[in-house]
Structure 1
């Protein structure tokens, strides 16, 4: 029978177990903090998603925001001009497959395409080495707020009043007064009427990111995709059609691919990377890094984008998150939405005769 270790030998054997235990406890505590378990009044992904439910109702199986959308597929061809600033393989002279999703804001999957001025384009680039770059962009170069708390306040101010279906007319003005940073977003929307198509719309990353080159040097950047299709105003007839943008894009893609140029805007010292309400000056260096080509569209119910969580913090080597606080909040809310809808979809498909 082996003799039990004593003294320093026993301590030496126990030390690794103690380290594991402490590390595990720290991870659990960190997760508990992130989930809000240790601070019930703290703003959490659960609270954010609960407010989407309060604003838009519950629609099982759908995203909690940008619920109405359509899948698209195509590819990106890098031209090598981005490689001095990022070591990500997507910027090499290669073709990278892309799955994307056009959508409109809000949690109502039956909303009209043209109900509001904001549109979105989410993309997933899958590099040959298996790494992915996911990005969620809007057609506005700035966001309405610059903190998660501001976004939460906006959700509450926008909540429809029972019986009217519209926000309380006193709450939004109060929100704007309390959040003067929202003025840039409102001015941009006022001065840029919606275009006639997803295909002739420019989309922006809004948040800043860090491009990391092969020497490990960081370059603060934002990006956008600039359409080759000429802009045209939305017609009154299209504005009254609830599926105008989706139907128009499907028709365009049947006629041929649609293309956008990926533009990398590089910051100068002093440009903020942590405030999505401030656009950088137009004189900042812009790199045309390649062409995004979209070839086909599929309904989101069974399309390739259905099961993708377009978390903007899923990044390949060569691209990193900045210190923008909205990025972590977006990641957490997206994960909460993804877990809810995929669980609901699984339950729905397990029910005989059920359909969505």
Structure 2
């Protein structure tokens, strides 16, 4: 038998390499989905845990399911341009499409039953790039890791008989994740405001602002309301939708505003631990003013089709080393795919 020539061997090697590519892709998809390592935490498991906590509500987000769309613009002060070369921080006006929501996966939950609220925004720069951010009305995150967040969802699932979380499971969780104790202390004394327009919304996670010279600045940010804080009162608990009703009434009287306050990290501040609030004496910059002028129901509004992925960032902003960011991005994508698929099937 004749030995294969050099050209024949090269051809066979190329064919073998080509055949290997789809096998590698299949293996990669199985790994990402958790099929090859079932003990590994995946975005599917995380979204499933959120769905178990909030119930299955086809066509809605798996978390922060109840909300409304908001529309307005951001007027830059120009002051943050020293920290970031992102176009929206140059003096000028940038259109914004956003969303107010309450935490949890139940779109029918009464507004007063959920203390944590959120503001999500998509900034549409003139150069075509976008900045998307999801912020929460709490000072820090309950847990440091993605696994901790998953464990929290599992530990606080309502018991089938009592309808409440099992105290023993919660206690075991706290022993395993003691970093949650400050959050529990905050939640115990926190009184929600009477309106979305009175809430301060925080990025929680840290990011990097990149300036014109390429230097990186570790930052967090907050949307600080112009309206003064007022606690929710007993009369609000008589209206399951008091937040959206209040917002409509206030916008009918005129636009509502927040200042985008950027906090610059100190030398000792870390970007990978969202459970720790940075000291109040850190440098802050007023980057500009967010003005919200109108609202629409979410299911018929522009915000319904927006995935407020925190890693959709323009040039001039990058992710920090916080592990929660990539997990949020992946879980948001899973949730977005599931609900839009369900919405399409329902049409």
With normalisation by structure 2, the TM-score equals: 0.93
Specify which of 193, 196, 201 is matched with residue 194 of structure 2: 196
Structure 2: gaps (5+ residues): none
Question: Where does the alignment leave 5 or more consecutive residues of structure 1 unmatched?
Answer: 1-5, 350-356
Counterpart contact for 1:261–1:288, Cα < 8 Å: yes
User: Deviations 1:277-323 (Å, cap 9, x if unpaired)?
Assistant: 00111111001000000010100110110011111011001000111
Aligned residues: 343
1:120 and 2:96 equivalent?
no
Decide which of 139, 145, 149 is 2:137's aligned counterpart.
139
> Following the alignment from structure 1 to structure 2, what is the Cα–Cα distance between the partners of residues 256 and 302?
23
Q: What secondary structure does 1:160 align onto?
A: coil
Match of 1:185 in 2: 183
What does residue range 88-107 of structure 1 map to in structure 2 within 5 Å? Answer: 88-107=86-105
Give the C-alpha shift of residue 104 in structure 1. 0.7
Instruction: State the match for 1:249 in structure 2.
Output: 247
Aligned to 1:272: 270
In structure 1, distance between residues paired with 2:8 and 2:212: 47
Is 1:260 paired with 2:280? Answer: no
Q: How many angstroms does 1:14 deviate by?
A: 9.1
Q: Larger deviation: 115-124 or 180-189?
A: 180-189
> Contact conserved, 1:142 with 1:184, CA < 8 A, in 2?
no
TM-score (normalizing by structure 1): 0.91
**Which residue is equivalent to 1:48?**
46
Deviation string 1:239-272 (CA, Å, 9 cap, x unpaired) is: 3321111111111111110000001100012211
Alignment of 1:336-347 (within 5 A): 336-347=334-345
Instruction: From the superposition, tell whether residues 74 and 149 of structure 1 become closer, same or farther in structure 2 (CA, over 3 Å).
Output: same
Cα deviation, residue 273, structure 1:
0.4
**Residues 8 and 285 (structure 1), Cα distance of their counterparts in 2 relative to 1, 3 Å cut:** farther
Higher helix fraction: Structure 1 or Structure 2? 2
**Match in the other structure for 2:328:** 330
Worse-matched range after superposition: 50-59 or 150-159: 50-59
Equivalent-residue separation in structure 1 for 2:22 and 2:247 (angstroms): 50
2:205 matches 1:207: yes
Tell me which moved more, 46-55 or 99-108.
Answer: 46-55
Coordinate RMSD, CA, aligned = 2.1
